[in-house]
Amino acid sequence: MAIFNLNINGTEHQVDVDPSTPMLWVLRDHLDMVGTKYGCGIAQCGACTIHVEGAATRACQTPVSVVGDKEITTIEGLSKEGDHPVQKAWLEVDVPQCGYCQAGQIMTAAALLETNPNPSDEEIESAMSGNICRCGTYVRIKEAVKKAANP
Amino acid sequence: MTLIKTKHNRRSFLKVSAATSGGMLIGFNWLTRCTPAGEPKVAIPNEWFDINGYIKIGDTGMVTIFSPNPEIGQNVMTSMPMIVAEHLDVPWDHVVVEQGALDEDAFKNPQFAGGSLSIMLGWDALRMAGAAGKRMLMEAAAKEWGVGIDAVTAADGIVSEKEGEQRTIGYGAIAAKAVGIEVPEELELKEPKDYKLIGTPQKNVEGPKIVTGKPLFGLDFKREGMKLAMIEHAPSFGMKPVSFNEEEIKAMDGVTDAFIVDTTTEDPIWAETNAFHQLVTVIGESTWQLMQAKKALKVNWERVSDPENTVEHETKLREALQAGKLEEGGRVDGDPEAAFANATKVVERTYSSPFMAHNTLEPMNFFAHVTDEKAELIGPTQTPKALEDTVSKLLDMPVEDITVNMTRQGGGFGRRLYVHFGVEAAAISKKAGVPIKLIYSREDDMTQGTFRPTYRSTYKAGLDENNNLVAFSVRGAGIPESPVFPNRFPAGTVENYAAEKINVATNISTGAWRAPRSHFTAGAEQSFLDEVAQAAGKDPIDFRLELFDRAKNNPVGEEYEYDAERYAGVLEMVKEKANWGVETPGVYRGVAAYFCHNSYVAQVMDIEMERDKPVVKKVWCAVDCGILINPEGAKNIIQGGVVDGIGHAMYSQLTFNDGTPDQKNFDRYQLIRNSQAPKEIEVFFVDSEVSPTGLGEPGLPPAVGALANALYQATGKRYYHGPFATADQDQQDVELI
């Protein structure tokens, strides 16, 4: 076990965990931030996507020991009022079915739009293809990403 | 005028049972399940009044509607309360929705999510709940004003006096006086033409919480003092654990207990399907530590039945089709054998599909707190009542001492119809003596069983010299159940018809998977009919419409399980919407239609070849589900069904070696991805006043057929065997003729 001081959503959090613990479980089990989801544990489904220094990152493959003082953003901290353009677009398009994957989808989409504010259809598909939606809301996900880019 | 009886099981609808959902909520507010339907236009009440099992009204006029059924993504948490609100006549933005606890007595409705039945079975109870509430509020106001019930009316959350002083009072102001008012034995229901909310697009009531990552799902549940538990089931079907390195595991960091738990019960019902009743269990503080403990397990497994593998499964299915024992419940019309012998053309094709896993993105999990006196269960289940009953049996505890609360569920697809994970949580909590949340890893989830069966069916059609379909047969085998529905289309449309079912036993546990059997049969039958239409030189839609004409005008046999008018209706609708018959260079089209779970869906799919790869550009869907409750949610679930159908037909399979699934996670089990999904899916609904039916399943099956048929147009190759992307398509049980 070791103590880590983490910078999550602009707030410092201290945890005492095994250094190999992935950020996914640090967030969910130790900090009660459960918006970041467990889907596969092997970086195949994208449900656990968070931002590390703004880049979309799979929390299940990010040991707490490599994070240091890097800025972490989770779905809980993407916006204060739940009104990030991507969140607003997601509601407007009424994307979710079961909703389980959507936090990860939104985090991937938000990171995409930071680096590429007006992505083409192909760029959206390519960026979003690491995130599985078992309910099959892909058509709406694409529509919402476009809406967020051009509200 | 539609009248509805307000009694149910000899009890008035008014009756608020002792454990109303409102009461249950006190222990359940961790979820902050109070979800505004729209932007709430009314203030938070100081006091709430129970009107009936579905409705409580606050003194400010805010109305809470309890949604009775499990929410697995089919959007019943929005559509079911909409039906109540419509009949209560309250504005949607006065409504907050809460998930109801298991209490079928209060809801007068079976609380389960399966067979696309929630809306269909709930239709009467939901309308009755709203109408009864409205009636009680009207009576209370009439009494207050000293006038008769006929002198008042109610709409938009306000009771009004029709004439005289024309007084008005809001639902919130009169609610206290409405509590306990008896409702008459019959109530008049609104006619569809008067609907204000039903038929309008409403957004998912939990959308704002979903997009902000609020704790909604079973896996998100936490209770003070709760431990986490993980299990290890046998690596191969037909095995069980005997012993393990218990002391070593218990000494690990973060592990507080470890043991083997047994969940065997007497006389298991279908929902108890489970191949692994003995489980190595580790209990501790954090998921990651438990995952490490699982890796460190050294278990002695005992083999109790023979291991199976995929090659053997395929052989068994082939043999079954040739010489298997026919099950009861097949169908024969006319003399198929003679008709095939006399036919001018005969087409015979064999179709197959592998085992599949459900792969809900939220793995199985459940919270249980079992003491000597009571058991509390919270989590994602499609069958809370079956779970309660099974836990009652397991613990030898009366159901009155067991509570089941449902969280939002990260997908269902039939997987959570089976109660083993909730039962395991109860058994583990009892044995450990602490409240626990059981968590499956993805690998536990994907290899546990309850899989979609594997199927193989042979279809045969005979055409006469005028290219009329004069003989049709299907013989279908499945492990463990045949996929054939003998009385479905084309039964009733062909003079000489045979449908035969063959079952093959297995020790692999299987279960219902979104549109059970229909997902395979629709694909096989609809691509077979495409090939038969081609052999007959007919347009595939016209060919089907001719068959429906026969069913409408002069049906063959005693019965068939569809409404030919409605079936033909969706085909005609999709034909028009997709501009069927207009050829566009480079665009390859397929069509399919299927009826299952009481709704009709026809689809046209357009494929274009890009860099030699087929890309689904657009799908048109025509749907007849009777009265449409929420067009927004309805479109979403149909679109999802199309994507799911394409995905599993193209990419997904579960294979076995030595009793062990080869695919354990999403690195080897392929699910459809964003770039592989159709670029556009347009959904049209038949305007109807027929009682509503469900949509969770019916959108999926036709997508498989439409895909196979469009792929044929695009590639010149017929697709008979799943997964289309990788399976050998040349395997036929007879020479292609």
> Is A43's Cβ below 8 Å from some Cβ in B?
no
Instruction: Measure the CA–CA gap between B231 and B300, rounded to whole angstroms.
Output: 15
> What is the DSSP code string of B529-590?
HHHHHHHHT--HHHHHHHHHHHHHHS--SS--SS-HHHHHHHHHHHHHHTTTT---TT-EEE
- The closest alpha carbon to A50, from A96, A99, A108, A100, belongs to A108
Model confidence pLDDT, tens digit, residues B522-552 = 999 999 999 999 999 999 999 999 999 999 9
SS (H, E, C) B157-224: CEEEECCCCCCEEEHHHHHHHHCCCCCCCEEEECCHHHCCCCCCCCCCCCHHHHHCCCCCEHHHCCCC
Instruction: Measure the CA–CA gap between B541 and B522, rounded to whole angstroms.
Output: 15
Instruction: Measure the CA–CA gap between A80 and A82, rounded to whole angstroms.
Output: 6
**How many C-beta atoms surround the C-beta of residue B442 within 10 A?**
22
Most A CBs within 10 Å, among B674, B704, B707, to test the A interface: B674
Q: Which residues in B lie closer than 8 A to residue A87 (C-beta atoms)? A: 211-212
> Is B217's Cβ below 8 Å from some Cβ in A?
yes
Model confidence pLDDT, tens digit, residues A68-90 = 999 999 999 999 999 999 999 99
**Are B213 and A28 in contact (CB < 8 Å)?**
no
Instruction: Measure the CA–CA gap between A134 and A70, rounded to whole angstroms.
Output: 31
- Token pair recorded at residue B535: 């052999």
**Confidence (pLDDT) at B37:** 63
Q: Which of residues 653-682 of B touch A (CB under 8 A)?
A: 665-667, 671-681
Instruction: Measure the CA–CA gap between A113 and A124, rounded to whole angstroms.
Output: 9
Say which residue the tokens 């279809």 belong to: B459
- The closest alpha carbon to B85, from B108, B106, B61, belongs to B61
**Confidence (pLDDT) at B27:** 26
SS (H, E, C) B674-706: HHHCCCEEEEEECCCCCCCCCCCCCCCHHHHHH
Q: What are phi and psi of B296, to 5 degrees?
A: -85, 0
For residue A75, give the nearest of B212, B441, B636 by CB distance.
B212
**Are B72 and A94 in contact (CB < 8 Å)?**
no
**Are B362 and A129 in contact (CB < 8 Å)?**
no
Q: Which residue of B has its CA nearest to A96?
A: B207
Cis amide bond preceding B540, omega within 30: no
What predicted TM-score, i.e. pTM, was given to this entire model? Answer: 0.95
- The closest alpha carbon to B577, from B548, B606, B599, belongs to B606
- The closest alpha carbon to B360, from B209, B511, B202, belongs to B511
Instruction: Measure the CA–CA gap between A23 and A63, rounded to whole angstroms.
Output: 6
> Is A77's Cβ below 8 Å from some Cβ in B?
no
Q: Which residues contact B238 (CB under 8 A, 6 or more apart)?
A: B275, B303, B304, B305, B306, B307, B308, B507, B659
Q: How far is B601 from chain A (nearest CA, A)?
A: 18
Residue A137 has pLDDT above 80, yes or no: yes
Tally A–B CB contacts below 8 A. Answer: 190
DSSP type of residue B325: P
- The closest alpha carbon to A52, from A117, A144, A114, A96, belongs to A114
Q: How far is B89 from chain A (nearest CA, A)?
A: 25
Cis amide bond preceding B354, omega within 30: no
- Region for residue B353 given its phi and psi (left: phi exceeds 0; alpha: psi -120 to 50; beta: otherwise): beta
Q: What are phi and psi of B454, to 5 degrees?
A: -100, 145
SS (H, E, C) B16-27: CCCCCHHHHHHH
Q: Which residues in B lie closer than 8 A to residue A33 (C-beta atoms)? A: 213
Instruction: Measure the CA–CA gap between B408 and B354, rounded to whole angstroms.
Output: 30
Cα-only R_g, chain A: 15
Instruction: Measure the CA–CA gap between A85 and A113, rounded to whole angstroms.
Output: 10
For residue A98, give the nearest of B72, B203, B674 by CB distance.
B72
**Confidence (pLDDT) at B249:** 98
Most A CBs within 10 Å, among B202, B211, B408, to test the A interface: B211
**Confidence (pLDDT) at B731:** 78
Model confidence pLDDT, tens digit, residues A17-65 = 999 999 999 999 999 999 999 999 999 999 999 999 999 999 999 999 9
Q: Which of residues 2-31 of A touch B (CB under 8 A)?
A: 17-18, 20-22, 25, 28-30
**Confidence (pLDDT) at B6:** 58
Most B CBs within 10 Å, among A72, A74, A102, A139, to test the B interface: A139
- Token pair recorded at residue B387: 């779970």
**Confidence (pLDDT) at B558:** 86
Q: Which residues in B lie closer than 8 A to residue A100 (C-beta atoms)? A: 217, 360-362, 410-411
> Is A113's Cβ below 8 Å from some Cβ in B?
no
**Confidence (pLDDT) at B33:** 42
Tell me the three state secondary structure of residue B67: strand
- Token pair recorded at residue B32: 């902050």
Q: Which residues contact B400 (CB under 8 A, 6 or more apart)?
A: none
- Token pair recorded at residue B157: 């959350």
First-to-last C-alpha distance (Å) of chain B: 57
Residues B333, B497 contacting (CB under 8 angstroms): yes
Model confidence pLDDT, tens digit, residues B570-585 = 999 999 999 999 999 9
Instruction: Measure the CA–CA gap between A29 and A35, rounded to whole angstroms.
Output: 12
Q: Cα torsion for B553, B557, B558, B559, to the nearest 10°?
A: -70
> Is A134's Cβ below 8 Å from some Cβ in B?
yes
Q: Which residues in A lie closer than 8 A to residue B216 (C-beta atoms)? A: 99
**Are A44 and B632 in contact (CB < 8 Å)?**
no
Instruction: Measure the CA–CA gap between B323 and B317, rounded to whole angstroms.
Output: 10
- Token pair recorded at residue B577: 């919407």
How many helices and strands (H and E) does chain B possess? 18, 32
> Is B709's Cβ below 8 Å from some Cβ in A?
no
Residues B412, B75 contacting (CB under 8 angstroms): no
Q: Locate the DSSP E strands across B397-468.
A: 402-406, 436-439, 454-463
Q: Which residue of A has its CA nearest to B38?
A: A91
SS (H, E, C) B624-656: ECCCCCCHHHHHHHHHHHHHHHHHHHHHCCECE
Residues A103, B213 contacting (CB under 8 angstroms): yes
Residue type, A133: C
**Confidence (pLDDT) at B730:** 84
Q: How far is B214 from chain A (nearest CA, A)?
A: 6
**How many C-beta atoms surround the C-beta of residue A106 within 10 A?**
30
H or E stretch covering B430:
helix B420-432
**Confidence (pLDDT) at B407:** 97
Q: Is the dihedral of CA B331, B335, B338, B343 positive or negative?
A: negative
Q: What are phi and psi of B409, to 5 degrees?
A: -125, 130
> Is A66's Cβ below 8 Å from some Cβ in B?
no
- Token pair recorded at residue B493: 């449309």
Mean pLDDT by 10 residues, chain B (737 residues): 56 41 30 53 92 96 96 97 98 96 91 94 95 97 97 98 96 96 90 97 97 98 97 98 98 98 96 98 98 98 98 97 96 98 98 98 98 98 98 98 98 98 98 98 98 98 98 98 98 98 98 98 98 98 98 93 97 98 97 98 98 96 98 98 98 98 98 98 97 97 98 96 93 62
Instruction: Measure the CA–CA gap between B326 and B314, rounded to whole angstroms.
Output: 18
Residue type, B470: V
- Token pair recorded at residue B77: 């948490």
Please, is A13 exposed, middle or buried when counting C-beta atoms within 10 Å of its C-beta (0-12, 13-18, 19+)?
Answer: middle
**Are B672 and A18 in contact (CB < 8 Å)?**
no
Q: Is the dihedral of CA B407, B410, B412, B416 positive or negative?
A: negative
